[in-house]
Structure 1
Amino acid sequence: MTREEREEKWFSNISGAESISIESKIEICDKAAKRMMIIILGLLTLEFILLFVVGGEIFTRVADFLNRISEGGHTGNHSQGLALTGIIVFLPVFIIPLTAAFSYKNNYLKAELAKIVTSRENTAGKESALPSFTKESESDILHFDTLNFKLAIIQVLMYDLHLLKPEFDIYAFADQYKGKNIDTDSDAIIEPAMNFFKEMEIPKNFAPYVEMLYMDGGNDVYMNIIPQWDGEDDSFDLNEITLEELQQFPNLKKANLMSSDFDKVKEVFEAANIAVEPL
C-alpha cells in the first residue's frame, strides 16, 4: 500500500477530511503510523514481561504444545495447519496492542484534522483593527538589534495580550506554505517560521503595552518556531541587548530572562531601570 492509498483509506470515514490537502493528510498518517508502531511494540513488550513474571511456564507449555502437533507430518497442509495453530495460540497476545493502536489512530487523525481546521478558521477569521505590519513607515515601527529580544516582545504582544493579529500558528502556516514541506513535529528551528518573525514589523504604538517580559521554554512564540523544543538548549537565550532597544518600551519595568550570559544583559536592563531576574 502506498502512502497515498493509506491516506485515502485512513481518512475515508473521517468527516471533513476533504478540507485539508493530501500532503497534510499524508504527513498526519506518517506520524500516526510511527506512534502506532510504538504503541504495539510497547504493549507487546509489557504483555510478555507480565506473562513471564506471572507464570514463565506458559511459554514452555506453548512451545511443548506446538512441538507435539508438529510431529508426524511434513506435508504442505500440515505446515499450514501448524502455522494457523500458532497464529490462534498467540492471537490473544496481539489483540490488545492492535486494538489500542487502531483506536489511537482514529482519535489522532480526528484531533489533527480538527487542529488544522480550527487554526485555519481562527487565522482567516481574525481581522486586525490595528495598523498593517508592512504599511508602517520606518519611523513608526520598533527597531530591534537582537532577534531573541524581539521574540520575547512578540510573545507579550501577540500571545499574551493578543494585540498583534492574526496570531501566528505553525500548523495553519505549514498547511498553507507553498515551499518545502514543513515538519510540525520538528525539534529544530523551522526556518520559514523564524523568517516570518524576523521580517515582522511591529508598530511603535504597541510599545507602551509591554510592562513585563517572562521568557519561558513553553512560550507560544518558541513552540511555533520549534514545536518539539524541550527548552534545554540556548536557542532563544537573551545574551545580547542594546539600551536603545529597551528604551523603546517606556512601561517595561520587570523581566525574567533565559540567558547564559545573564550578568552581561543585567547591566543593560538595570541601566534602563528595569528590574531583571534569571529564569
Structure 2
Amino acid sequence: MPGFRDFNFKLLVIEKLMYEDRTLTPAFSIDELLRARGIRHTDVYVHENGLEFTVLDESRAYFEALEIGEELLATVDVLLVDGGNRVYYHCSPVWDGEDELFDVASLDDLDLLPNLRLVSGAQDCGIGVAFDEKLLAARGIASD
C-alpha cells in the first residue's frame, strides 16, 4: 500500500474518495464513534476537553492507519481544497478555518495520484499554500 507523507494532503484524497465519490468505505463518522463511547454531543465533548484547535486523536489514528490502494488512488482526478471539506469536520468538529490546522505543507504525495488533473480551490484559501501553480503545471495539473 502506498504511504502518504503529508497527513493534510491525505485528507484531501480521503475527502474525494470517501465523502464525494463514496468509493472508500465505510465512511468515517466522528459522531458515530463518539456515540459508541457514550458521548452524545460531539461539540460539547470537544469544548469540555479543550480540543477546539486540534485534530481529535480518534480521527487522526483512524485516518493515519487508513490504507488506500493504488487502484482507488488512480481514480482521483480532482482534489478540492476547501475549508468546508467534510473530512475536516470529522477531524476537528468545531474547526473555524481560521488557523493552519489543515494546511498542506508538501506536495511529495502527488506521485501517488497518477491521474490527478485539477486542484480546485487552492488559490482561494490558505490551506492550499503548498500548491504551487508552476509545479502543478509542470506535472500537467491545472489549478483554479
Normalised-by-shorter TM-score class: 0.7 to 0.9
What residue in structure 1 maps to residue 119 of structure 2?
255
Alignment of 1:117-156 (within 5 A): 141-156=1-16
Whether contact under 8 Å (1:190, 1:225) holds in the other structure is yes
Partner AA of 2:23 in structure 1: L
Distance in 2 of aligned mates of 1:205 and 1:269? 22
1:196 to 48, 58, 62: 62
In structure 2, relative to structure 1, the CA distance for the partners of 1:247 and 1:218 (3 Å cut) is same
Q: Which has the higher contact order (CA 8 A, sep 6+)?
A: 2
What residue in structure 2 maps to residue 184 of structure 1?
42
1:164 to 12, 24, 27: 24
* Structure 1: runs of 5+ lacking an equivalent: 1-140
Whether contact under 8 Å (1:154, 1:221) holds in the other structure is yes
In structure 2, relative to structure 1, the CA distance for the partners of 1:190 and 1:261 (3 Å cut) is closer
Alignment of 1:1-279 (within 5 A): 141-177=1-37, 184-185=42-43, 186=46, 187-188=52-53, 189-242=55-108, 245-256=109-120, 257=122, 258-259=125-126, 262=129, 265-266=131-132, 267-277=134-144
2:91 partner SS: coil
Q: How many residues align?
A: 132
Distance in 2 of aligned mates of 1:261 and 1:247? 17
Whether contact under 8 Å (2:83, 2:127) holds in the other structure is no
TM-score using structure 2 length: 0.80
In structure 2, relative to structure 1, the CA distance for the partners of 1:153 and 1:182 (3 Å cut) is farther
Calculate percent identity across the aligned residue pairs: 31
TM-score using structure 1 length: 0.43
